[in-house]
Structure 1
Amino acid sequence: MIKLSKTLSLYLGKNYLLNTLAVLTALLSIIYLLDILELLRRANKTGDIPLGIILQMGLLKLPEIGQTIFPFAILFSALWTFWQLNRRSELVVLRASGFSVWQFLAPIVLLAALIGALQIGLINPAGALLIGKYDRLESEFLKKQSSQIALFKEGLWLRQEIDPDKQQSFKKTHNVNLAEGYIILHARKIAHPSWQLLNVTVFYLDTEDQLLMRLDAKSATLEKNLWTFNDVLVNSNQTPPTRLPAFTLPTTLTIKDIEDSFSSPQSMSFWNLPGHIQTLRETGFETGPLIVHYHNLLAQPLFLMAMVILAATVSMRPPRFGGTLVLIASGLFIGLGVFFLSSFLQALGASNQLPPPLAAWAPSIIFILFGLSALIHLEDG
């Protein structure tokens, strides 16, 4: 078997890389324009927002969206590359020169794996950092939410705005005048599944960051738009310390909001995921979705390799088997199959109906085995 030269490997890799960049740029440009239109629509509802902020928010979101469309960009760029080589009869020349499909496929497969490794080590951490900044701008200008939640080994930390104008019902029901400001809540432990916070401390501050009140409670519960603190010591700057059996504060949060904030992987870097998963496990929270996401990232190089192999199965056939329309239809069919099977298995893993690592790795293994068997059949045929 003749060895593929370095020059030929670089030629194939260069063609594929340029096509990948072109496809990725086209897809991201379309998504960016659509996202800008959506942000402008939302901005019209909240008041005047500088156009520069809207454009910046769209750019900040691109790396996170880019990771979602990476497999499809890899798939379609591979289809395009092999179609070009086939159309120019370069594949025929390579085969006639004694090269097997495995030899001229190898540089492109390895390049796809390298792109996957780059996504894990660089693009994902950068995307997590930028999406965090996007969330802050969204909260500031589009007023999506006014709460911030974090979970550490020391317990739960939560920051929540107190806006009297939005909480008139609480004032009427409890006959309490609330000052505008925010609370910082710290719970050292969380009891599951009752979702009761234990050993709770709350700091109530005004808009000038001046302390208005401190609460030290044995426990707290969240239900019906209320924080209810039990066996609580109230320290106010206007009254002496008082111990009460219960004390309530309004909230717009729900238990689902808090749980979703912990399991959302978008703002979590790949390098920080293992520690965060361990913290969630120790505090009793559901870790299935994050474990699936973590192993999805680990499997990304293998998954992108599978996309190249699948593309080769339909685009390396002789031109007589169909033209451009057949190629596009094949690409769309493969893309839909990849999306639905991957989503289905990941949903099973997130709900623990399948072991999360298996749910994350299974699509890559299935697609590679299917692609290799199809290529072997193509070679023998």
Structure 2
Amino acid sequence: MRLIDRYLAWAVIGGTLLTLGILLPLLGVVILADDLDNIGTANYQLTDALLFMVLSLPRYAYQIFPIATLIGALIGLGALANRSELVAMRAAGLSVWQIVFAGLRGGVLLVVLALVLGEVIAPMTEQRGVQLRRQALSGEIAQQTLDGFWAIDEGAYVNIREIQSGADLRDIFIYQFDAATETLIETHASAARYRNAHWILEDIVRSRISDGGVQVERIAQTGWDSLLDPGLLKIVIANPHLLPAWSLYRYIRFMAINKQDAGAYEVVFWAKVVYPFLMLSMILLATPLLLGSSRSSGMGWRLFVGILIGILYYLISRTFAYLALLFGMNPVLAAIIPPLLFISSALLLLRRLG
């Protein structure tokens, strides 16, 4: 890579990191302010709220990274324009497309950083933050709902009332029907533990209900062959937006096996797949906006344009997500159309500029 390419790429990277450095503390204040009402509930104190805020920031950073990239490119390259460096580069023979590709090289590094943040760091910190917050507010580590988690597992209906962690369950009901003997089998286990890639049920009461009556047997411990695994059970208590792409893919397959609607998860999954292209499209869009008005616009105007485009992106992406969820639009199309719109707009502006 030539020296001038590295110079332009680092201008984009530096502007993006500066934008994140400004936006994230503001988001942190908003998160903390929204959580102030919970302080004093049970064991939840200000230190817990601060820790929850810090652990939530990686997820928010991942969500705003595309907008931060757009604003950062406008700021970084705009600083070069204000010093007439871009004018000098073009006078020396640097084409618009060379400037675009140099900025995109910086964008590739930002994409890698965003993916590590959103697919590796954020899921761990967010789940830890939610767990600590729930424990402080309720005094319990486990999450328990009114009717628990239901799943169809190889012909059996499974109801898990309490998920303490992916590998430790409490109060499990398993309902099966033996068509050959016309017998309904109800199995209740007080606990289930995942050890050595197998489930172990403990303290079991098994009832066999048929025309001949009810037979009840008690078993101290037995194995349980199930499609469910700790990774899937951790997913059921998490927001799909917080999960890494590979976990979403596994859960979508699991829901397909169980003949359940995975539309919400598919929309989020495909949004994650096209996420790198969205970030690069922001840099592609920033370059013609900047070069088309580099002499007449100041930093405030560039920030306003970046924020306006960010709001537009949010509205468009949310609209297509709702179309997929409410009207059955293909999740792939719902995810790919927003970045395609921005890329098409950028290419049109670059053509006019060229």
Identify the TM-score tier after normalising by the shorter chain.
0.7 to 0.9
Which of 143, 148, 163 is 1:146 aligned to?
143
- Of 43, 54, 59, the match for 2:54: 59
Report what 1:184 is aligned to: 171
Q: Distance in 2 between matches of 1:365 and 1:319?
A: 25
Structure 1 residue 133: Cα displacement? 1.2
Corresponding residue number in structure 2 for 1:111: 106
Contact 1:63–1:126 (8 Å) recurs in 2 = yes
Amino acid at match of 1:265: P
Q: Is the 8 A contact 1:217 1:233 kept in 2?
A: yes
Match of 1:21 in 2: 17
Distance 1:262 1:55 in 2: 23
CA deviations 1:312-369 (Å, max 9, x no partner) are 2322224454333432332222112111111111222233532101111111111101
Identity of aligned residues (%): 24
3-state SS of 1:158 partner: strand
1:278–1:338 CA distance, 2 compared to 1 (3 A)? same
Deviations 1:143-183 (A, max 9, x none): 3983274869666452349xxxxxxxxxxxxxxxxxxxx95
Greater Cα shift, 326-335 or 140-149: 140-149
AA of the residue aligned to 1:60: L
Could you tell me which residue of structure 2 aligns to residue 294 of structure 1? Answer: 269
Q: 2:87 is matched with which residue?
A: 92
Name the structure 2 match of 1:174: none
Confirm or deny: 8 A CA contact 1:131 1:267 kept in the other structure.
Answer: yes
Q: Residues 34 and 265 from structure 1, CA distance in 2 versus in 1: closer, same or farther, beyond 3 angstroms?
A: same
Q: Does 1:159 align with 2:161?
A: yes
After superposition, what is the alpha-carbon deviation per residue over 1:62-106, rounded to whole angstroms, capped at 9, x for unaligned? Answer: 111111111111111011112112111111111101111110121
Letter in 1 for 2:48: I
Alpha carbons 1:86, 1:318 under 8 Å: kept: no
Whole-angstrom CA distance in 1 between matches of 2:243 and 2:84 = 46
User: Is residue 215–residue 235 contact of structure 1 (8 Å, CA) maintained in 2?
Assistant: yes
State the SS of the aligned residue for 1:351.
helix
Structure 2 partner of 1:329:
304
Partner of 1:37: 33
Confirm whether residue 201 of structure 1 aligns to residue 153 of structure 2.
no
Cα deviation for residue 61 of structure 1 reads 1.0
CA distance in 2, matches of 1:115, 1:17: 7
Aligned twin of 2:223? none
Counterpart-to-counterpart distance in 1, 2:20 and 2:109:
16
Segment of structure 1 superposing worse, 312-321 or 339-348: 312-321
Structure 2 vs 1, CA of residues 82 and 134 (structure 1 numbering), >3 Å: closer, same or farther?
Answer: same
User: How many residues of Structure 1 are paired with residues of Structure 2 in the alignment?
Assistant: 310
Residue 240 of structure 2 aligns with which residue?
265
Confirm or deny: 8 A CA contact 1:199 1:217 kept in the other structure.
yes
2:53 is paired with a residue of what secondary structure?
Answer: helix
d(CA) in 2 for partners of 1:111, 1:359: 27
For structure 2, which runs of at least 5 residues remain unmatched after alignment? 164-168, 177-183, 192-200, 220-232
1:185 match: secondary structure: strand
Paired with 2:185 and 2:331, the residues of 1 have a C-alpha distance of 33
Does structure 2 retain, via aligned residues, the 8 Å contact 1:125–1:268?
no
TM-superposition CA deviations, 1:116-161 (whole Å, max 9, x none):
2443355323211221112211221123983274869666452349
Q: Which runs of 5+ in 1 are unaligned?
A: 162-181, 190-197, 206-210, 220-230, 238-257
SS at match of 2:160: strand
Compared CA separation, residues 217 and 298, structure 1 to 2 (3 A): farther
- Two-structure CA RMSD over aligned residues (Å): 3.5
Whole-angstrom distance in 2 between the partners of 1:150 and 1:130: 27
2:286 counterpart of 1:311: yes
Q: Is contact 1:218–1:232 with CA below 8 Å preserved after alignment? A: yes
Give me the whole-angstrom Cα distance separating, in 1, the residues matched to 2:57 and 2:158. 30
Indicate if the aligned counterparts of 2:9 and 2:104 stay in contact, CA closer than 8 A: no
More displaced 10-residue stretch of structure 1: 313-322 or 359-368? 313-322
Q: How has the CA–CA distance of structure 1 residues 122 and 335 changed in structure 2, closer, same or farther, with 3 Å as cutoff?
A: closer
AA partner of residue 160 (structure 2): L
Do structure 1's residue 375 and structure 2's residue 328 form an aligned pair? no
Query: Which amino acid in structure 2 is aligned with residue 356 of structure 1?
Result: P
Identify which range, 144-153 or 262-271, moves more after superposition: 144-153
Report the TM-score when normalising by structure 1.
0.71
